[in-house]
């Protein structure tokens, strides 16, 4: 049984997108009005964010360049972004393993940033600059298909990020890109990181749905995430994001079974009949 204590969240609204973080009283009425779609019995779509919805690599590289270049630094900004991202999994594993208590992804990124700076031999930056660099993950842009596809999908499904990102990070990228979700779910709700089953299960329960009524939408190369969602009982859709790690560098063929494979989110909408 999921610990309901994690669902009692302070109500919050994201301007323009109508995003709500809700408690148990709200979720019952939401489930009653959940759209019904005959395709695979799915009522809610859960989105991985980094790489699936957001072009993290370009966003981080450009943000870090904007901060460090005026300070006299010259380096491969995309290499910096790749290095930082490579520490993402090991940083979260400290929490998943139980070795450390849950902390937000912002806190994980900040710890890993110190290691990245050391590898690039950048030292002695003021704390204010380091915090500004860490907020690069709040300044990401969406892939080109997202703006058109999400409203189509929203017409038939409940939509929510189920991400390892903390709620404040998601709120900022939602506002930046003027996109809409019904709720922000994922790590901050479950107090753990994907691919732990509780993250997917807690997200389904927040919508008062069974796991099989929910579908994770993930970049095709994110095999661990898709496997975790399927193991928790969710349906899975893979999106071909070939440019996530650079032009044509990411696999578009999942290595785990999926229920749908789409070229982009508009193709997914077509397959789902919206």
Q: Do 171 and 92 belong to one domain?
A: no
Q: Do 129 and 156 belong to one domain?
A: no
By C-alpha distance, which of 180, 226, 234 is closest to 202?
234
pLDDT above 80 (res 163): yes
Helix (H, G, I), strand (E, B) or coil at 20: strand
What is the model's pLDDT at position 32?
47
Residue 13 dihedral angles phi and psi, to the nearest 5°: -125, 135
For residue 85, the domain's CATH number is 1.10.150.240
Cβ neighbours of 185 (radius 10 Å): 31
Token pair in block for residue 124? 């002695």
Percent of the chain beyond pLDDT 90? 84
Q: Using the 3D structure, point to which of 123, 138, 153 is the last residue of a domain.
A: 138
Q: Do 84 and 220 belong to one domain?
A: no
Q: What is the pTM of this model?
A: 0.87
Q: Do 84 and 159 belong to one domain?
A: no
Q: Using the 3D structure, point to which of 138, 154, 170 is the last residue of a domain.
A: 138
What is the model's pLDDT at position 40?
82
What is the model's pLDDT at position 6?
36
> Do you know the residue count of the chain?
274
Q: Do 39 and 65 belong to one domain?
A: no
Percent of the chain beyond pLDDT 70? 86
By C-alpha distance, which of 195, 192, 184, 191 is closest to 162?
184
Residue 236 dihedral angles phi and psi, to the nearest 5°: -135, 135
pLDDT above 70 (res 248): yes
Mean pLDDT of 89-103: 93
| Number of domains, the chain | 2
> Contact 143/168 with Cβ under 8 angstroms?
no
What is the model's pLDDT at position 14?
38
pLDDT above 50 (res 174): yes
Q: Do 244 and 173 belong to one domain?
A: yes
Please report which residue ranges of 158-259 form alpha helices under DSSP H.
167-177, 187-190, 197-206, 223-231
Q: Using the 3D structure, point to which of 138, 161, 196 is the last residue of a domain.
A: 138
Q: Do 115 and 180 belong to one domain?
A: no
Whole-angstrom Cα distance, residue 261 to residue 7?
A: 32
What is the model's pLDDT at position 24?
31
For residue 191, the domain's CATH number is 3.40.50.1000
Q: Do 35 and 147 belong to one domain?
A: yes
What is the model's pLDDT at position 34?
53
Mean pLDDT of 238-255: 97
Q: How confident is the model at residue 26 (pLDDT cuts 50, 70, 90)?
A: very low
pLDDT above 80 (res 15): no
Whole-angstrom Cα distance, residue 50 to residue 94?
A: 20
Q: Do 149 and 226 belong to one domain?
A: yes
Mean pLDDT of 218-247: 98
Give me the chain's average pLDDT, please.
Answer: 89
What is the model's pLDDT at position 35?
54
Mean pLDDT of 42-50: 98
What is the model's pLDDT at position 242?
98
pLDDT above 60 (res 131): yes
Q: Do 102 and 238 belong to one domain?
A: no
Domain range for residue 110?
56-138
Peptide bond into 47 cis (omega under 30): no
What is the model's pLDDT at position 150?
98
């Amino acid at each position: 049984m999921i610990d309901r204590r994690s669902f009692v969240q302070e109500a919050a609204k994201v301007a323009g997108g109508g995003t709500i973080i809700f408690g148990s009283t709200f979720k019952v009425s939401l489930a009653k009005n959940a759209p019904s779609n005959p395709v695979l019995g799915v009522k809610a779509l859960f989105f991985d964010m980094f790489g699936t919805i957001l072009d993290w690599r370009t966003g981080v590289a450009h943000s870090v360049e904007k901060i460090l270049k005026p300070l006299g630094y010259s380096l491969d900004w995309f290499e910096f972004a790749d290095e930082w991202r490579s520490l993402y999994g090991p940083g979260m594993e400290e929490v998943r393993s139980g070795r450390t208590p849950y902390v937000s992804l912002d806190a994980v990124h900040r710890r890993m940033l110190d290691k990245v700076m050391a590898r690039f031999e950048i030292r002695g930056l003021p704390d204010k600059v380091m915090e500004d660099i860490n907020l690069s993950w709040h300044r990401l842009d969406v892939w080109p298909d997202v703006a058109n596809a999400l409203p189509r999908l929203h017409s038939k499904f409940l939509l929510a990020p189920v991400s390892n990102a903390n709620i404040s990070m998601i709120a900022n990228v939602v506002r930046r890109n003027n996109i809409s979700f019904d709720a922000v779910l994922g790590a901050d709700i479950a107090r753990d990181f994907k691919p732990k089953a509780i993250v997917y299960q807690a997200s389904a329960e927040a919508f008062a749905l069974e796991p099989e009524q929910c579908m994770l939408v993930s970049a095709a190369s994110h095999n661990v995430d898709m496997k975790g969602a399927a193991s928790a009982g969710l349906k899975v859709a893979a999106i071909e994001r070939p440019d996530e790690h650079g032009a044509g560098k990411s696999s578009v063929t999942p290595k785990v079974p999926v229920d749908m494979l789409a070229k982009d989110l508009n193709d997914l909408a077509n397959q789902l009949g919206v």
